[in-house]
Amino acid sequence: MTGRVQLLVRGIVQGVGFRPFVFSLARRKSLKGEVCNNAAGVLIDVEGDAEAIEQFIDELRASPPPLARVESIRRADDLSLAHYSDFRIVGSSAGGEQIASVSADVATCADCLREMFHPQDRRYRYPFINCTNCGPRFTIVEAVPYDRARTTMRDFEMCAACRAEYENPLDRRFHAEPAACPRCGPRLTLTDADGGAVELDAGEEVTGRARLLLASGKIVAVKGIGGFHLACDALDGEAVARLRQRKYREDKPFALMAKTVEIVREYCLVSAAEEALLNCARRPVVLLEKRSDARLPEAVAPRLRTLGFMLPYSPLHHLILETFDRPLVMTSGNVSDEPVSYEDAEAGRRLNKIADYFLSHDRRIHVRADDSVARLHDGREMILRRARGYAPAPVSTSFNFTREILACGAELKNTFCLARDRHAFLSHHIGDLENLETLRSYEHGIEHYRRLFHLRPEVVAYDLHPEYLSTKYALALDGGEAKVGVQHHHAHVASCMADNRVEGELIGVALDGLGFGADGSLWGGEFFVADFRDAERVAHLDYVPLPGGAQAIREPWRMAAVYLQRAVGDEFVELDLPSVRNMDRRAWATLRRMIETGTNSPQTSSMGRLFDAVSSLLGVRHVANYEGQAAIELEAMADPACADHYEFEPAGDGSMIKTEAVIRRAVTDLLDGVPPPIVSAKFHLGVAHLIATVARRVRDERRLRRVALSGGVFQNMFLLRHTCALLGADGFEVFTHRRVPANDGGISLGQAAIANARVAAGRI
Ligand SMILES: [Zn+2]
Ligand SMILES: [Zn+2]
């Protein structure tokens, strides 16, 4: 029987070789008709033997091309025959609902690598080789529908050979928009810090010279996929130290890149699952446990037990590392906390005091995207920074966004989120919204996503903190959008729920640095009974003053003094403790007056600040030079063999958690000569037990047995593992972050979910 069916395939189906796949599949099944992209996805009109059509549809679902993601196939049957004479790929049609997805950037595929290292191939050693299965995408797209004229590759006119491949449906480069070759495509340049071209020897390659420069201790700025890296030989302690000094980056760990997993194994323990994550096409930086015998300058990642490694993801990386048997430091090309450089002129201005040389090229980067960072938890990927390789792929949700929503995110590690249907387009990591450059990148980012996904948000969600630039941005919008303020920690919990596709009431634990509370104080050690609509605060850490506000975040010794004074009284200054010995008495006297008079000393229930206090108490870190440093170093020193824990005391009805007993026990231990790694472990385990205790109480009172863990504190793996183990043993179902970060990078997703639920409840 002959039939005709029309199919609309949605998901990630453009720029990933989907039409050639449909074309050859249809030919194999002897079907006729046509396939085209439209703004909603891929439209297929197919006719022929009815049974063959069913097989065709089954295979569309079952074995799409590697980068494609089929989310749905809508079909229309009972059409009159069109009597096609063959099967063809036809030009893009402009119709359809506007929501075709743009693919994330993809690491160089095995086929392209083989060609690049094959002397007879016409792209032999060409640093911009790519195909339908790999190459830059999101970072070069200027507009949709995705085709070459709307990418930065429009600067290059294809040669005849490239065009022939581009137009041949059976070629791997059929409609590979960034396809190019040495004759027609982008080229590398190597210049010194003053912009002067480096003269090469006869027959010498640019990448070969760059490698020599790196091997001789030079710092080279390398233009990558989403921005510039600053690279140097990771085994050259002097080069690493010079890079730190010039970048004004004292301690924050550097990311590393190595040619192969074998090289990574010389420095880190790598499980099979971690190897798979290193090798996946998204190519994140993977946090791995450092080997105790790893020979690497301490300055790469001072005092940490983990290293962040990635494998090469662009052809240029493969060429630079071709004969390099050591890791390279590959840190983002910026000064201190500014956003990463991505335009040549601007990179030259900003990085020429840091880099000795610039390895650049003339393919423009349209959207800046940092390297993503992930690690394994419980055998599964857990993302910590979601950017290149991930964005702009939407986070699919279990619920439907009934209105189009823009969620503006928080302040640090900002992302924004645009949502509709079952798609949350969580942006790539924007950065800390603390300077003009990042704010500009945020505003441009929102405009760009709106255009790419044809979204016109009617509802705007924002954090309650009045001073966040994201809040100010939201409140200044004047397109008639409904505005919804969302409490920071409720957003954390909702983000974890959406991440795990769970709905309904549960126990939400949100532990982080600081977020604006519903009572106007600064929260951060919070326990809720929450769903997407509301969060009832059922317990929290007792309030303490935060003397000096932001200054107290940078100086953990202040929190140690605050907590010691509460636990021990003013006599704490006589104790023989590292934090007290280190303390400037005059500075403490000033602080004490500030606390007494309430000057610039907001109240906080932050768990992050309690970790800071304990870190300083143990002599680990009194002044931090990057966010979270005191807690990160406290975790790194915790003794994994320790099984004892400190006990927090709930006060009153159990909703207020007192910390004095924990601080007093830690002080006693330290004075008794208990080693700090044991004290650190007992503190971590104490927090894990506290979470389990509160969860049990809420379970008994409210009949809830599901727990969501969110907030930056849960990037602490020592705490996370023990908390999950305790709750699991108690019969709780535990949800932790997977697809979006536990830190403030996940806030915007939670804001969007909450705004949506309030719309559904008729509250907006
Ligand atoms: Zn390829
Ligand atoms: Zn060409």
CA 114 to ligand 1 center in whole angstroms: 9
Q: Is 310 helix (H, G, I), strand (E, B) or coil?
A: strand
Ligand minimally distant from the alpha carbon of residue 172:
1
Token pair listed for 246:
């010039």
C-alpha to C-alpha distance for 666 and 104, rounded to whole angstroms = 48
CA 21 to ligand 1 center in whole angstroms: 15
HSE-up of 90 (CA within 13 Å, CB side)?
A: 14
CA 128 to ligand 2 center in whole angstroms: 11
> What pLDDT does 101 receive?
66
> What pLDDT does 100 receive?
55
CA 68 to ligand 2 center in whole angstroms: 26
CA 164 to ligand 2 center in whole angstroms: 9
Ligand minimally distant from the alpha carbon of residue 65:
1
Sequence-distant (≥ 6) Cβ neighbours of residue 489 within 8 angstroms? 508, 510, 512, 515, 517, 523, 524, 526, 528, 535, 710, 711
Q: What are phi and psi of 228, to 5 degrees?
A: -85, 145
Peptide bond into 145 cis (omega under 30): yes
Ligand minimally distant from the alpha carbon of residue 159:
2
CA 180 to ligand 1 center in whole angstroms: 12
Residue with tokens 């004075």: 671
Ligand minimally distant from the alpha carbon of residue 135:
1
> What pLDDT does 93 receive?
60
Strands (E) in 50-105, as ranges, are 69-76, 87-89
CA 172 to ligand 1 center in whole angstroms: 8
> What pLDDT does 92 receive?
66
Maximum pairwise Cα distance, the chain = 94
Ligand minimally distant from the alpha carbon of residue 123:
2
CA 336 to ligand 1 center in whole angstroms: 35
Ligand minimally distant from the alpha carbon of residue 160:
2
> What pLDDT does 96 receive?
43
CA 632 to ligand 1 center in whole angstroms: 39
Neighbour tally for 475: CB within 10 Å: 14
Ligand minimally distant from the alpha carbon of residue 314:
1
**Do the beta carbons of residue 392 and residue 104 sit within 8 Å?**
yes
Q: Is the pTM of this model over 0.75?
A: yes
CA 635 to ligand 2 center in whole angstroms: 52
Residue with tokens 């960072």: 373
CA 113 to ligand 1 center in whole angstroms: 7
> What pLDDT does 98 receive?
44
CA 199 to ligand 2 center in whole angstroms: 26
CA 183 to ligand 2 center in whole angstroms: 5
Ligand minimally distant from the alpha carbon of residue 186:
2
CA 136 to ligand 1 center in whole angstroms: 10
Ligand minimally distant from the alpha carbon of residue 181:
2
CA 156 to ligand 2 center in whole angstroms: 9
- β partners of residue 389: none
**Do the beta carbons of residue 242 and residue 219 sit within 8 Å?**
yes
Sign of torsion over alpha carbons 459, 463, 466, 467: negative
Average pLDDT by stretches of 10, the chain with 764 residues: 92 84 92 88 93 94 88 89 90 53 91 98 98 94 88 97 92 92 98 95 96 98 97 98 95 98 98 97 98 96 97 98 97 87 91 97 96 96 98 94 97 97 95 92 96 94 98 97 98 98 98 97 98 98 96 97 97 95 95 95 98 98 96 98 94 87 98 98 98 96 97 98 98 98 98 97 91
CA 695 to ligand 1 center in whole angstroms: 49
CA 157 to ligand 2 center in whole angstroms: 8
CA 178 to ligand 1 center in whole angstroms: 11
C-alpha to C-alpha distance for 707 and 373, rounded to whole angstroms = 25
Neighbours of ion ligand 2 (CB under 5 A): 159, 162, 181, 183-184
> What pLDDT does 619 receive?
97
**Do the beta carbons of residue 684 and residue 567 sit within 8 Å?**
no
